[in-house]
Amino acid sequence: MASMTRHERALYYAQRLKSSQDIFKEAAKIKKEIDSLIWSKDKTPLPLKEKLAILNEVKRIIIHGERSKEGLLLIEAGDNSGILDVIDSIENELKQGT
Partner 1 sequence: MEKYAILISGLSLIVSVISLIFSILSKRKASALARENTKLANGMLELEVRSSISDSTFRVNEVAMKMNSLIAKRKANEISEVESIELEALKNNWRSAVQGMLNAYDEACTKYIDGKVDKERFKKNYHVEIRNLLESAALKEFFDPHTSRYKAILKVYNEWENLEQ
Answer yes or no whether residue 17 interacts with partner 1 by CB under 8 A.
Answer: no
Q: Pick from 7, 12, 17, 51: which binds partner 1 (CB under 8 A)?
A: 12
Is 62 a binding residue for partner 1 by CB under 8 A? The answer is no
CB-based contacts of 98, cutoff 8 Å, min separation 6: none
What's the min distance (Å) between Cβ of 70 and partner 1?
10
**Does residue 63 belong to the site contacting partner 1 (CB under 8 A)?**
no
Angle, vertex CA 74, rays to CA 70 and CA 75, nearest 5: 150
Question: If we measure between CA atoms, which residue out of 81, 85, 26 comes closest to residue 58?
Answer: 26
Amino acid at 77: A
Per CB under 8 A, residues contacting partner 1 are 2, 12, 15-16, 19, 33, 36, 38, 40, 43, 76-81, 83-84, 86-94, 98
